[in-house]
Structure 1
Amino acid sequence: MLDHSTLDHLEALRLDGMAEAFAELESQDAAADFSHAEWLGLLVDREGASRETMRIEARMRPARLRHVGACPEDVDYRARRGLDKALFQSLLTGRWITDKRNLIITGPCGVGKTWLGCASAQTACRDGVTVAYKRKPRLFEELELAHGDGRFPRLFRSITKAQLLILDDWGPDQLTATQRRDLMEIVEERYGRGSTMITSQLPIKPWHDVIGEPTFADAILDRIVHNAYRLELEGQSMRKSVSKMDDENPQT
């Protein structure tokens, strides 16, 4: 049986998964019957799982997803919102990101557009993809400030170099001239080099008017829409459904 000096050595070597597993095994009477190979196998397995968890967390932190806990295992395919299960599960394989294609998720408020987008992004993080999440209104605020204080080149690089960029809440407000130029630079830099996901309450047709200037709108939408998968959701807000269930089943 190993002694506590081994635990100290594991921690010193930053083999935290092994150290944790070793401490747990030492406290279990049944572990005394394990062979050396079984001990080693359990320790190595835990270290591998621990390192993979840390790698995923390291990609999730800078992504700053709105719904950090959204994951593909929790997707509700029974909800009446028109979610194409076969298409969504195909998207979860990540092939669209490998192929540098885009994804557009549209539908009314509350049907889970952002949540589904974040669940897809978590899968991408698990697969080693770098992700950047930006709400469209907040993105343009950040870009405007960055133009003024000299941070624009760094912010621009962080947006354009991400393998997956999520532009959440593409809304009805028409873009300003500066916003159009910034968006054009972003989509041009990313075209053929990374994937972009957009969520919006608006169907695609009015996006041309939202961008505002026909020349810019044609160029931007050509780079976003033509190679994009589309998830077009419908139905009532799922938040209302949850609220109704809570009303019908009050907790005591």
Structure 2
Amino acid sequence: MADTLIELQNNPEAAEMPHPDWLGLLVDREVTARDNRRLMRRLTGAKLRQAATIENVDYRPARDPDRSLFQTLATGQWIRDHNHLVIVGPTSTGKSWLACALGNKACRNGFSVLYKRVSRLFADLAQARGEGRLARLIAALERVNLLVLDGWGPEPLTADQRRDLLEIVDDRYDKRSLLITSQLPVSQWYDVIADPTLGDVILDRIIHNAHRIELKGDSLRRRADDRIQA
């Protein structure tokens, strides 16, 4: 507001403006500045892997993304409803990119977001367990509106990883949202969990209220290499 006031004072044309208009402009600028600062904090805290936005999504038929579903997801209503999202498809078809694009839009919609590679998440959990701060880390994960878990599978989980995942998923059930990407179809996730009983519980918490995007087509990296060579 102070910066805007100085700007108005140095603008000869502003002298003709009624004082209520000055006040309205000062308040509008302050609100915009605060919103921008909050957005930057959310984006910084999200630690998204890629600078992706939904405005640049590739809807070409070869990839087969569901345009109407994706545009619905972009509104963020699924996060308000505490639903989940699963994005599956072959390697390098853009799963991580889409996840980051939706994470970026969630930040812009006012939600807190955290991106984690699944392998890095389990490494962080193992370190926290050894340092006696596992409960604190899991509590921090629980507070995030949208937790993005990128790169699920294909290695089977250990006993500790299964228990940690169950606690994370259970904490978020009907309270917060998950976005999971995987090169494996959902039918093979039981093999990753590697425990029939916990597998039923974990997948029930994830799948029953989850939207799904199934990507198809060739590797985006391969297509980019082919264009360069051409």
Name 2:13's counterpart in structure 1: 33
Aligned residues: 227
TM-score by length of 1: 0.83
Structure 1 counterpart of 2:17, which letter? H
Give 1:63 deviation, angstroms: 1.4
Q: What SS does structure 1 have at the residue aligned with 2:136?
A: helix
Matched, 1:51 2:34: yes
Structure 1 counterpart of 2:155, which letter? D
Q: Please, which of 203, 209, 221 is the counterpart of residue 221 of structure 1?
A: 203
Q: Please, which of 128, 147, 151 is the counterpart of residue 146 of structure 1?
A: 128
Name 1:181's counterpart in structure 2: 163
Give 1:123 deviation, angstroms: 1.2
Q: Compare relative contact order (CA 8 Å, sep 6+) and give the higher one, 1 or 2.
A: 2
Name 2:53's counterpart in structure 1: 71
Give 1:40 deviation, angstroms: 5.4
Bigger CA drift: 34-43 or 196-205? 34-43
TM-score by length of 2: 0.91
Q: Please, which of 125, 130, 137 is the counterpart of residue 155 of structure 1?
A: 137
Alignment CA distance shift 1:77-1:45 (3 Å) = farther
Name 1:209's counterpart in structure 2: 191
Name 2:106's counterpart in structure 1: 124
Q: Which runs of 5+ in 1 are unaligned?
A: 1-14
Give 1:78 deviation, angstroms: 3.0
How far, CA to CA, are the matches of 1:139 and 1:148 in structure 2?
14
Bigger CA drift: 234-243 or 197-206? 234-243
Matched, 1:97 2:79: yes
Q: What SS does structure 2 have at the residue aligned with 1:206?
A: helix
Root mean square deviation, CA, Å: 2.0
Q: Please, which of 220, 223, 227 is the counterpart of residue 238 of structure 1?
A: 220
How far, CA to CA, are the matches of 2:23 and 2:65 in structure 1?
45
Structure 2 counterpart of 1:48, which letter? V
Give 1:80 deviation, angstroms: 2.5
Q: Which runs of 5+ in 2 are unaligned?
A: none
Structure 2 counterpart of 1:142, which letter? D
Q: Percent of aligned pairs with the same residue?
A: 48
How far, CA to CA, are the matches of 2:214 and 2:7 in structure 1?
48
